[in-house]
Structure 1
């Protein structure tokens, strides 16, 4: 199943824009070919080999990824040279101007037990357990087709990349844009002012909720984003209030539910219908079969869903997401929490992400994490760790209490210097408590 979209796109169309540098698909195709020749000729990279590479959001870094996919190698994107790689890997030098190192192993597709592996993506491990998700060529192709059908992105569109390429959210931007023959604008990491400026010149962007909240706090007035068609917001809970505030500010946010195991998107709001769909993440994308277990756990299946984890037995039956949800009357998916992170205080369920989203909207708060700690009276008590923007603000507790149920209001407030987060911006709950 073809996923080498670089070679089939219009060679005159811009593929990548990095500040003042514009690279057409024709130029990228030639660069990818040159890197692929060096990888195969000098480093003996072959089809089916696991190849771990530092995934950099630069022109050479992206060309390296496309070269490996062109060779049929199985890409393992890393955050740095110190990231964990498969035990069988050996290190070889960087190629084609890409920084860091490449690790090429002899771990074949047949040995892994899957057909046509495309990419192996480490999960974020926000609850302390990281696994390597296998994505096949069929997974990638199906996910891209389903996303494009929902969004309608085209060759005329530019997509802003600020998510890291060692996560499926960043990789998906490369795949979706190239499949449509569109352009990826390299944002160079997340900076609120830079992103606001870039949103005036792109059609699409992808953010996590933390980024969106910080973006809103840096906006003095509503923006004039005339080209912007949608900003996908996923990777965590985005409250109705934050999404509504974004829409009022001129940012056409699209709440999205997905995960690495589903090759990114599972459900996304329909562009143009966001206000009608607030409170949900929209309907599941075509091809995704989403159902609910008796306890409310969200189950996902379909051709875009991973067959399993590297070094583990293949998946049998639908993917158990660990998330809790329901469907509204219109068939839209509503995510109500996550089983492993729920705080049970006084017999009531508390979703820490919901509490975090309320606290984070307060102008005095720079960052926040909410978690539970053992308590003799309550079983668990709700604790909020706060990073102030400038200094303490006595109005926070009352503002939070006005929006939350009484059992959701933190019983303990801690002032900290920083909130532990994963590389994609999720609260690292394994470091709390």
Structure 2
């Protein structure tokens, strides 16, 4: 059954289209030798389509053959040994891809560093991960000035390593493949490192592209940061599809819209706040020819999915997952039209369960702990910790429920749920309700301590330009649609919500 699914999906997505027989043999030989990590995926793409443009970024266009050549030269000159860890603190660029492939080609482990981390957090991560070296964009030099004990490779040094690389034996895989380490979001404290598994074959790719219809040789703009789980996953998918990847160092909605049109992009990988910012632009007279806009990383604000599809067509796909779980479910445009707040259905090979307090399965409609099983669950944190498991399923850390059709709904984080006057209250439910107000641009709802009820809700709202709304109108809207204990006593209006580099709201920075 799996073989039929994989073969059928690859055929539908153009991965089995005929081509030069010699190149096809080399393509599959590269995967056989190097595996399905970044190093193997780049090599199979370069073997099959060497002259195809692999990356278009702010600085240059790079073919697959050129990208591989520079990555291999970098591997020859890197001041690290197999098994050591090398940090990568870069914005989206071909240079970042070369760094990631070069590190894994050597057999070292790349550690994807969040560009939004503070100097103190960067120093703590470098120590906790035992970094041997750090590859960084020059703009971050001041941030890491006080990080000691590792070699820092800025942009000039990066080019020197490639230009002066000693001859390297022809593409010999390391004895130990490099393992990518992704940091958790880090909205509180020092982020942990999560070890990402290397795909063992085509099935993980097919599980995603079966539901999200990206095709071989598409042109895909990856707006999500490559250091983020979703941006990194988008890169893995794009290399596997031999796609042309369009990158921009910083997200600017007007510039992104221009890039989509200029480069004839058929796909975009983004986080929800980016889609929201695109919708705040005037409706363009000439729209990009998008077939797929795939988002992940945080919940879609209320009504955004419908509004986006009304403007750009039914092209929006929402993947619910995490650094630890990879994916849990995928919502197609049809799912989002039916229920804009759904996280969709589990893809092929994925099992989702909603469990009660004692591990018992809950029926549709009942809220419980969400657990997931698939072949790409993380391999644990680098500090030795892991996540709760139940009969082979990993706890996502979220609360949610299923509907009778098997669609997944996320009701909030386990640690976000509050108890107010003895009642369970889910901030995400109220957040989604307030996001539907036409005056509201963005909103966050959290629990805060309360002397009388133990906890209460606080709502933080950013209004659209020219809109007016007062606190009592907000409370009345919630009072009309929800029980009294869900009404936020604190309603605070802000110019903007504090967000990290992946668009998640940083709760600790919200004023109390």
TM range (shorter): 0.7 to 0.9
Equivalent in the alignment of 2:271 = 208
Q: Which residue pairs with 1:2 in the alignment?
A: 36
1:193 aligns with 2:254: yes
Q: Note if contact 1:139-1:304 (Cα within 8 Å) is conserved in structure 2.
A: no
Tell me if the contact between 1:32 and 1:64 (Cα under 8 Å) persists in the aligned partners: yes
Q: Distance in 1 between matches of 2:99 and 2:43?
A: 14
Structure with the higher strand share, 1 or 2:
1
State which structure, 1 or 2, has the greater radius of gyration over its C-alpha atoms: 2
Does structure 1 residue 261 correspond to structure 2 residue 324? yes
Relative to structure 1, the CA distance from residue 117 to residue 320 in structure 2 (aligned partners, 3 Å threshold; closer, same or farther) is farther
**Cα deviation digits, residues 343-396 of structure 1 (max 9, x gap):** 333444443334334444556555433222222344322212234555772367
Query: 2:491 maps to what in 1?
Result: 413
- Offset, 1:186: 0.5
- Give 1:310 shift: 0.5
Question: Mapping of 1:41-120 within 5 angstroms?
Answer: 43=79, 45-80=80-115, 82=119, 83=122, 84-87=125-128, 88-90=130-132, 91-94=150-153, 97=156, 118-120=179-181
User: 1:358–1:222: structure 2 CA closer, same or farther, 3 Å change rule?
Assistant: farther
Look up the match of 1:284.
346
* TM-superposition CA deviations, 1:114-144 (whole Å, max 9, x none): x856211110133556321111213797643
Deviations 1:174-219 (A, max 9, x none): 111001111211133222222333344322223323222222222x
Task: Indicate how the Cα distance of structure 1 residues 415 and 399 shifts in structure 2: closer, same or farther if over 3 A, else same.
Answer: closer
In structure 1, distance between residues paired with 2:226 and 2:201: 15
Is it true that 1:301 corresponds to 2:373 in the alignment? yes
Q: Tell me the equivalent position of 1:21.
A: 60
Equivalent residue, structure 1, for 2:26: none
Residues 1:270 and 2:309 are matched in the alignment: no
2:420 to 324, 329, 345: 345
The aligned residue for residue 144 of structure 1 is 205
Cα drift, residue 58 of structure 1: 1.7
Alignment partner, residue 121 of structure 1: 182
Contact 2:220/2:245 (8 A) holds in 1: yes
Deviations 1:201-239 (A, max 9, x none): 322223323222222222x33776452122222222214
Deviates more, 1:399-408 or 1:191-200: 399-408
CA distance in 2, matches of 1:277, 1:419: 26
Aligned to 1:217: 280
> Contact 2:325/2:396 (CA < 8 Å) preserved in 1?
no
Q: Residues 179 and 96 from structure 1, CA distance in 2 versus in 1: closer, same or farther, beyond 3 angstroms?
A: farther
CA distance in 1, matches of 2:402, 2:194: 27
Query: Are residues 99 and 292 of structure 1, via their aligned partners in 2, closer, same or farther at CA, if it must alter by over 3 Å?
Result: farther
Could you list the runs of 5+ residues in structure 1 that have no partner in the other structure?
103-114
User: Is the 1:124–1:423 Cα contact (8 Å) retained in structure 2?
Assistant: no
- The match for 1:423 is 501
- On the 8 A contact 2:257/2:288 being kept in 1, the answer is no
Task: Give the helix-richer structure, 1 or 2.
Answer: 2
- How far apart are the structure 2 equivalents of 1:344 and 1:401? 21
Q: TM-score, normalised by structure 1?
A: 0.84
Look up the match of 2:69: 30
Aligned residues: 414
Residues 103, 109 of structure 2: 8 Å contact kept: yes
Deviations 1:18-38 (A, max 9, x none): 147321111111111221121
Is contact 1:163-1:189 (8 Å) kept? no
- Secondary structure of 1:16's partner? strand
Structure-2 change in CA distance of 1:223 and 1:374 (3 Å): farther
CA RMSD of aligned residues (A): 3.1
When the two structures are superposed, what TM-score results if normalisation uses the length of structure 2? Answer: 0.72
Q: Deviations over 1:215-274 (max 9, x none)?
A: 2222x33776452122222222214522111111125221220100123x3211235654
Contact map agreement 2:301 2:435 (CA 8 A) in 1 = no
Give ranges in structure 2 of 5+ residues lacking alignment. Answer: 1-34, 133-149, 162-175, 358-367
